[in-house]
Amino acid sequence: MQKSNYIRSIIASLGAMMICGVTMAHAEGMKFGYVDMKSAVENTADYQMGMKRLKSLQAQKVKELQALGEKISKSEKDLLGQSMAMSPDRLAQKQQALKSMRTDFQRKQQDAQEALSAEKNRLDISIGTKFQKVISSYGKQGKYDIIMQKPAFLYVDPKHDVTADITKLLDAKK
């Protein structure tokens, strides 16, 4: 993640320099392009498959947590209905068991959130690494002087948009 922040700051700096020297850049014949990074990445087959896996994992975790939540709810109802007929020791045991179930539920909920977050981070890192390689190769092969990230400017002529090319290259790179 630190590498992507570094790259973004370089892109922003280059963008600022370019704003100041657009006239000079055209006079010298510089070639530049821009990429809507979010669109380029999110429209790749790898990203979409990764998100499908992530949603499947999320659905599995939700199902597990719902089952445990229902078990807790049933135990609470049973305890409430039977508490008057139980001995104090038995009531304390049931309350402790219920407390353990709630603690287990919270742990599993936190574990599920961490697993989903870790999977999303793996996907982002994988796609981000691939994106960096593709954009560098594309820039060198196309003899670009600068390729900027789209939100860096208020307006850029659409003829400089290379997002679709980058998305195709990301899909082609396995």
Q: How far apart are CA 40 and CA 45, in angstroms?
A: 11
Dihedral of CA 162/163/164/168: which sign?
positive
Residue 14 has pLDDT above 80, yes or no: no
- Identify the pLDDT of residue 81: 87
Amino acid at 69: G
Q: How far apart are CA 108 and CA 130, in angstroms?
A: 33
- Identify the pLDDT of residue 4: 60
- Identify the pLDDT of residue 106: 97
- Identify the pLDDT of residue 152: 74
CATH class of 2-172: alpha beta
Alpha helices in 1-158 (DSSP H): 2-20, 22-28, 37-42, 45-82, 88-141
More confident residue, 117 or 159: 117
**34 contacts 158 by C-beta, under 8 angstroms:** no
- Identify the pLDDT of residue 27: 41
Q: How far apart are CA 117 and CA 114, in angstroms?
A: 5
Q: CA 86 from chain center: how many Å?
A: 50
Collapsing DSSP states into helix, strand and coil, what is residue 96?
A: helix
**115 contacts 57 by C-beta, under 8 angstroms:** yes
Q: What contacts 130, CB < 8 A, 6 or more positions away?
A: 46, 170, 173
Specify the range with the lowest mean pLDDT, choosing from 24-28, 127-131, 166-170: 24-28
Q: Where are the domains of the chain?
A: 2-172
Amino acid at 40: A
- Identify the pLDDT of residue 8: 60
